[in-house]
Structure 1
Amino acid sequence: MKVVIQRVSQSSVTIDSKIVAEIQKGLLILVGIEDSDGQEDIDWLVGKITKIRVFDDENHVMNLSVEDIDGDIIVVSQFTLHASTKKGNRPSYIKAAKPDIAIPLYEKFVKSIEFVLAKKVQTGVFGADMKVSLLNDGPVTILIDSKNRE
């Protein structure tokens, strides 16, 4: 699994001109799932995401996690994170998991974050044409690949 974590002052997801998710201070997480991903990837990433210290403390040092600040989270599925651009100019998405594999893992990922934070996580709609808006705070943007955990 690959995730892009963005520290935001606000973020929302709109589908067909209707806002389906909206948060203030917290994290926007774009998640890409591949066929080889499983529960170990979810568990490791959720631990990282909920504990990663990207929010400022009273000394303006990034020393607090989303959990520490009681921040909100939006999770959006994004298969394009697994784009291969090695050949030609048209990205290949061969590594991205098909919906029958990706949807259950995506749902487990969201539920796992909710369990750890003991709060509702906002989401986009898997496979939908979404308009994602954000006010990146910092900017702070971090890419994490669960296959690079060692």
Structure 2
Amino acid sequence: MRIVLQRVSHASVTVAGQTISNINQGFMLLVGVKTGDTKDDADYLAKKVSKLRVFEDAQGKMNLSIHDVGGEILSVSQFTLLADTRKGNRPSFIKAAQPDEATALYEYFNEQLRSEGLTVATGAFGEHMQVALENDGPVTIIFDTENK
């Protein structure tokens, strides 16, 4: 699994002109599921995201977790994170899990975040979405279970 995490002031997802999800301060997650990813991978990433300390404390140091600041999560499935661009100019998405496998693991990952006590809003799996966010910092971190 691969996740691009951005610390945000606010973020939202719109589908067909309708806002379906929005959050205030917290994390915007772009989540890519590859063939062969497991629940263990999702568990690992949920704990990493939940415990990540990238919010500023009173001294201005990134020392607080999303729990400490009462933040929320907007999680959006994005198979294009698994693009292979080594050959040619058209990316290959062969490593991305098939929709049924990806949906199940993406939903499991979101439930694991919720079980960590976090509020999680989501995008619409498989839909064409417009994602808006205000990256705070900016802070952007990439997690990949191939690099645990």
Aligned to 2:122: 123
Rounded Cα–Cα distance in structure 2 between residues aligned with 1:67 and 1:94:
36
Rounded Cα–Cα distance in structure 1 between residues aligned with 2:70 and 2:38:
27
Rounded Cα–Cα distance in structure 2 between residues aligned with 1:120 and 1:11:
14
| Code of the aligned partner of 2:109 | F
| 1:120, distance to aligned residue in structure 2 (A) | 3.2
TM-score of the superposition, structure 1-length normalised? Answer: 0.97
1:100 aligns with 2:100: yes
Rounded Cα–Cα distance in structure 2 between residues aligned with 1:23 and 1:39:
26
SS in 1 for 2:81: helix
| Code of the aligned partner of 1:54 | V
Aligned to 1:64: 64
Alignment deviations for residues 18-41 of structure 1 (CA, whole Å, 9 cap, x no partner): 000001100000000011101110
Aligned to 1:144: 143
| Code of the aligned partner of 2:64 | L
Alignment deviations for residues 87-121 of structure 1 (CA, whole Å, 9 cap, x no partner): 0000000000011110110110011101112x431
Unaligned 5+ residue runs, structure 2?
A: none
TM-score of the superposition, structure 2-length normalised? Answer: 0.98
When the two chains are superposed, the root-mean-square deviation of aligned CA atoms in Å is 0.7
Unaligned 5+ residue runs, structure 1?
A: none
1:24 aligns with 2:29: no
Runs of 4+ in 1 over 6 A off after TM superposition: none
Q: Percent identity of the aligned residues? A: 49
Aligned to 1:85: 85
Rounded Cα–Cα distance in structure 1 between residues aligned with 2:140 and 2:122:
19
